[in-house]
Amino acid sequence: MAALKNLKILLQQAPATEKANQAQHPFWAMVQKEAMDHINSWRFMILLGLMLLTTIASLYTAISSLQNALAEDTSTSFVFLKLFTATDGTLPPFITFISLLGPIIGIALGFDAVNAERSKGTLSRLLAQPIPRDYIINAKFVASLFVIAVMIFILGFLMIGFGILLTGIPPTPEEFWRIFFFLLVSIVYIGVWLNLAIMFSVKFKQPATSALSGLAVWLFFSLFFTMIINIIVEATVPSQVSDISQLIGYQGFVQNLLRISPSQLFSEATTTLLVPTIRTLGPITIEQAYGAIAGPLPLGQSILLVWPQLTCLVAAAAVIFGLSYVFFMKQEIRSRS
């Protein structure tokens, strides 16, 4: 809560420079207003409290299972990263909580971004001001993404701080940078769902409809998408495999189908970043594995390994926001009588 109060003070403070006497740029004034609306809302407090509870729960289960994880893994390197991935089976690890609850955060912050302004009658008044029309949707996206970034980094650094206090083991520089990139990937992943919620808020007039639409897409990819892929696999699996390359090609086909889901891309990217011993994300032959040096990958190689997943997540967020931008710019907005 102290961090939130300091954030509010920083947002409300005027810069102590000569530019403070000048008028603030309209875009950044709108971003500041939208960010303050999010931070002061009960919605943000509830989401932050939910994420704090899940962070504490995942930290507890990681600490309780850390000894077993260390006993199974004889290597003494990257012990701190196990706080984000280890679990005793009672509760999911931290990366699983982010994968499940991250879309809810994005949807909750974006489902009424535009249609709430329209239903209140303030959107037409805002458009009557001498500002470019695209400032509105751009400011709403930037402010929401800024709030999400602050929330994720607060939770991530809380995990680091509590982990140091409870274990007495500080993270190495490589472990810290792996956690940092994991938090960045989490922000991009939540940004995909944020842009989807903003697009629904532009297309639908009622906030309830846009919220239900976002939750329906999330439930589809979380529950039913894997079932559909299993049906496709059962229908297309080859009866006889004459060549190992054919089997590898089919496995790659199934894996690419699974990668349509943003959660699958996020899971592959974050698991590779937080588990350095993962050396490949697809099926390989014995000839390809022959001669490989056993051991963890350096950070640069892990980033190169998950670069396609990161690119897909950024591209998905950009495409969905582009659609929201086009829909908003072409939409007719009338003042309420």
**DSSP assignments along 69-104, one per residue:** HHHH----SS-TTHHHH---SSS--HHHHHHHHHHH
Encode pLDDT of 61-116 as tens digits.
Answer: 888 777 665 555 545 567 788 888 877 777 788 888 888 889 999 999 999 888 88
- pLDDT number for residue 120: 81
Comparing 187-196, 224-233, 260-269, 289-298, the range with the smallest average pLDDT is 289-298
10 Å CB burial of residue 63 (0-12, 13-18, 19+) is middle
Q: In this structure, is residue 319 part of a structural domain? A: yes
In angstroms, rounded to a whole number, what is the distance separating the alpha carbons of residues 192 and 110?
Answer: 11
pLDDT at 16 over 50: no
pLDDT, mean of residues 147-169: 88
**193: CB partners within 8 A, 6+ apart:** 102, 103, 105, 106, 107, 110, 214, 218, 262
Which has the higher per-residue pLDDT, 223 or 24? 223
The residue segments making up the domain with residue 115 are 28-330
In angstroms, rounded to a whole number, what is the distance separating the alpha carbons of residues 63 and 79?
Answer: 11
Which has the higher per-residue pLDDT, 13 or 215? 215
Which has the higher per-residue pLDDT, 10 or 274? 274
pLDDT at 234 over 70: yes
pLDDT at 11 over 50: yes
Q: In this structure, is residue 291 part of a structural domain? A: yes
Give the tokens for residue 240.
Answer: 């006889």
| Tokens 């679990």, located at residue | 87
19 falls in which pLDDT band (50, 70, 90)? very low
Comparing 37-41, 250-254, 312-316, 324-328, the range with the smallest average pLDDT is 250-254
Q: In this structure, is residue 118 part of a structural domain? A: yes
- pLDDT number for residue 20: 44
- pLDDT number for residue 291: 52
Encode pLDDT of 213-229 as tens digits.
Answer: 999 999 999 888 988 98
Q: In this structure, is residue 335 part of a structural domain? A: no
pLDDT at 15 over 90: no
Which has the higher per-residue pLDDT, 19 or 304? 304
Average per-residue pLDDT for the chain: 82
Give the best-scoring range by mean pLDDT among 100-104, 158-162, 185-189. 185-189
Angle value at C-alpha 317, between 314 and 318, nearest 5 degrees: 85
Angle value at C-alpha 176, between 170 and 50, nearest 5 degrees: 90
pLDDT at 119 over 70: yes
- pLDDT number for residue 283: 59
- pLDDT number for residue 322: 93
**What is this structure's pTM?**
0.86
Q: Residue type at 146?
A: F
- pLDDT number for residue 17: 42
- pLDDT number for residue 146: 94
pLDDT, mean of residues 242-269: 81
% the chain with pLDDT above 90? 27
313 falls in which pLDDT band (50, 70, 90)? very high
Q: In this structure, is residue 285 part of a structural domain? A: yes
pLDDT at 200 over 90: yes
Q: In this structure, is residue 337 part of a structural domain? A: no
- pLDDT number for residue 181: 94
Q: Domain count for the chain, please give it.
A: 1
240 falls in which pLDDT band (50, 70, 90)? low
Tell me, what DSSP letter sits at residue 220? Answer: I
